[in-house]
Amino acid sequence: ARITFTEGQPFKDSPSAIVITNSVFPRYRFHESETEFVVYTDALKLMVNKGSGAISYYDANGNLLVREPERGGKWLTRKEVYKYIYPTQTEVSVNQGIDGVRVLSAKGQRVLDRMAFEAKLEFVFSADEALFGFGSHEEGFGNLRGKSRELYQHNLKAVVPYFVSTKGYGVLIDCGALMTFHDDAHGSYIWADVVDELDYYFIRGESFDEVTRQYHLLTGKPPMLPKWVFGYIQSKERYVNAQEMIQVVSEYRRRQVPLDVIVLDWKYWPAEGGWGQKSFDPARFPNPKAFIDELHKLGAKLMVSIWPKMTGDCPDRRELLERGLMLGDQSTYNAFNPEARQCYWEQAKRGLFVHGIDAWWCDCTEPFEADWSGAVKPEVHVRLLINTEYAKQYIDPAMINLYSIFHSQGIYEGQRSTTDRKRVVNLTRSSYAGQHRYATITWSGDICATWETLRRSIPEGLNFCVTGEPYWTLDIGGFFIRHDPNLWFWRGDYDAGCRGLTAPDLTEPDLKDTGCTDLGYHELYTRWLQYATFLPIFRSHGTDAPREIWRFGEPGTPFYDTIANFIRLRYQLIPYIYSVAAQVTLNSYTIMRPVALDFPNDITTYNLTDQYMFGPAFMVCPVTHPMYFQRNSEPLQNAPKTRDVYLPKGNLWYDFWTEKPFHGGQTIK
């Protein structure tokens, strides 16, 4: 059911960036009484209070799913919407940030653009239901009952305005503005910063998979990814030349450890000209096609990072500026403009794709990040204001969450228009509802190497995947390993052997950079990799120290052997994973799933945050605490060597390692 709430004006029915199908639902029946309108569909009964407009949602059998409060539950408050006007020659300053360049422009002229509304949508949830969704964030929330979420794009947030319930429904808010979700004893609501009207979809299904299928009917099907992307992806910040990358792949082959993809991070472009040029430095990559052909002969694919920001006098930036296709900072291309998307793709094609690269890494697609500095992490509400007010200087407030979906659209449509012989793969840091239709994979941003981060990552990945965005991953071992007291986000727990960010002017591998030597980190990395073996995408990446397997020992040592064995296990599972991925495309299946959504009748599953389903056959239970070493390689004494595992009711479960059977409805060690 689609619900649109407006105030004193005709319905706009404006084009949606999220919903791509005709959302007119002709099959319904209508009944009117003295106090209510009742709408019947094949799956739903909606009872609308004539006085307040409050809607109660029932399934086809008359069971209440959820309702809006009797006072109405839908509110629009008129507000002024401002925009910033920049002169053609805006003065900008450029600073090198930890995760790319930061461009500061002279502030534009703030002018009143139009009138619009803030919106608020209230629900009265049942005490016995669990909610999941809204994308991945930092806090490590699983079941969102009693929680709040701030929905804006950020390095550590990939937001999606959609949630699902264990009662068999989902709600999609068709809105590109800043939003918040709040649920506590005093009320439950979703608030949106700027809308012309409140527009949302209530989706009913007998199962979680049926809800997702209906959602994909609205937002598009996820394309089939190539088989190789489900193998092991080796990355780091950063490989500096072609020879180094060939040597790394060759060493994996020599060690007989599988690898399918190697990743080329930032600064592969020419030394002169500025950040973000989409072409190879001829000094370090003198023959790109021969280099990529050599990787292909070794059985590896190449993924290359590209950025929406360009600085200096690089040719790509110059072309976009001359054609008026930049946002107001004169450095970020205007992905909302179809002409700019086409221009950006043509640049990527002639500089990179023609040489044979296999996959894109679209980094920094928020594309703005205003709080990524300072020693003290700002409070939640302060961060929201800092980041969203900055984004509004360059993007319409009603669209600040949509940059990534338009950017992804440009890459997908550009490649598909160029060739149908290579499936699109796009690893990107931000997401939004509907972005899955552009073959995107989302990762969780620049996280830190701590056990707490590992624990939090599990429920965050689940809350992302339930939103119909099926492919999620993270930086195995955390992006930041060491601790920098001057930066709130660079707070890893391990310093020994870490060299920090790769120097921008480095052109040859640093042979002294042999990796983090802290055995406490080696244990954390190994546990993280074990967990990631059972993620949709299996990828190691980070700064401070390299991540190749030989940085963690040699054959015959425990961490090396465990890493090698789990990489090999991943490849044993590829037929299973690829088959499940086919179900994602064909039947809207979800690979990585909260246990509660497969066992909604077992309320013990509702608050499990460290167990999840990986397809229909595996329940994964990662180890999320150290057993052998703490930081500085100090051995742990008497640390527990077990963890609790809850087995949901109604099934017979088998231990993967021992094949021992267990009845459901119990906790085992």
Which residues are designated catalytic? 363, 366, 446
Largest interatomic CA distance in the chain:
81
CA-closest candidate to residue 348, choices 273, 262, 260, 413: 413
* Beta strand spans in 532-585 (E): 538-540
CA-closest candidate to residue 361, choices 238, 481, 248, 489: 238
How many C-beta neighbours within 10 Å does residue 307 have? Answer: 24
For 18-33, b where at least 16 C-beta lie within 10 A, e where not — what string? Answer: bbeeebeeeeeeeeee
For 542-578, b where at least 16 C-beta lie within 10 A, e where not — what string? Answer: bbbbbbbbbbbbeeeeebbbbbbebbeebbebbeebb
**Which residues, including other chains, have CB under 8 Å from residue 398's CB and lie 6 or more apart?**
81, 116, 175, 176, 177, 194, 195, 196
Three-class SS string for 5-61?
ECCCCCCCCCCCCCCCCCCCCCCCEEEECCCEEEEECCCEEEEEECCCCCEEEEECC
**Which residues, including other chains, have CB under 8 Å from residue 640's CB and lie 6 or more apart?**
625, 627
If you count them, how many residues does the chain have?
669
CA-closest candidate to residue 56, choices 43, 42, 70: 70
User: To 10 degrees, the CA torsion angle through 621, 624, 626, 628?
Assistant: 20
How many C-beta neighbours within 10 Å does residue 184 have? Answer: 10
Q: Which tokens is 267 given?
A: 């600064």
Report whether 574 contacts 227 (CB < 8 A): yes
What is the C-alpha R_g of the chain?
25
For 32, how many CA atoms within 13 A lie in the half-sphere containing its CB? Answer: 1
CA-closest candidate to residue 207, choices 596, 603, 583: 596
Compute the distance between CA of residue 462 and CA of residue 539 in angstroms, rounded to an integer. 17
* Beta strand spans in 309-367 (E): 359-362
Backbone dihedral region for residue 70 (phi beyond 0: left; psi -120 to 50: alpha; all else: beta): alpha
My answer on whether omega of the bond before 282 falls inside 30° of 0, hence cis, is: no
Distances (CA, A) of 370 to 38, 103, 367, 385: 47, 10, 10, 10
| Secondary structure of residue 467 in the 3-state scheme | coil
**Which residues, including other chains, have CB under 8 Å from residue 150's CB and lie 6 or more apart?**
137, 157, 178, 180, 380, 383, 384
Which residue reads 């949630």 in tokens? Answer: 163
Report whether 452 contacts 410 (CB < 8 A): no
**Residue 586 per-residue DSSP state:** H
